[in-house]
Amino acid sequence: KKKIRRVPNTIGIVTSPTGAAIKDILTTIKRRFPVCNTILFPALVQGENAANDIANKIKLANEVKDIYGIDTLIVGRGGGSLEDLWPFNEEIVARAIYDSELPIISAVGHETDFTIADFVADLRAPTPSAAAELAVPDIFEVKQKIINYQDRSKLALKKKIEIMKLRFEKIMKSRIFTDP
């Protein structure tokens, strides 16, 4: 299993361009971490040709990852019947996920739905929205951490200056300076 990058620059998304899943993913990413870029690799997510299309889009994302700076790939769709989710159980999709150089978050269906893609992926999310939450940090938490680090750095620097000042005063009071 590959590690999912904590602070990604660009996330690739393999899903249907018209479903609710893409809207949920994009909304969640823009709300949580608006500085992250997204690239959609539109794919069929149900039907006879869906498995081949999903596998091809995963391969395409890996081919262009360096050009677009893609860090993470979300592969999935919203919920549906077992038949609707079946392309994510196909061997061709499982092999494409396994062969991917990009870390993949599987976001197929709802919490109770499991597919082979979920087990092969580097991380499984119970829903497409949850996949987006796992893929990006919350910008407000990041800002708060930076503020905390700034405060700690200022305090550490202040203490260091006080210690140096006390050392300087001690040296200036030493006999060599008071009674040369």
pTM: 0.84
150 phi, psi to nearest 5 deg = -60, -45
User: How far, in whole angstroms, is CA 27 from its chain's centroid?
Assistant: 15
Can you tell me whether residue 10 is helix, strand or coil?
A: strand
Dump pLDDT digits (tens) for 69-121.
999 999 999 988 888 999 999 999 999 999 999 999 999 988 888 999 999 99
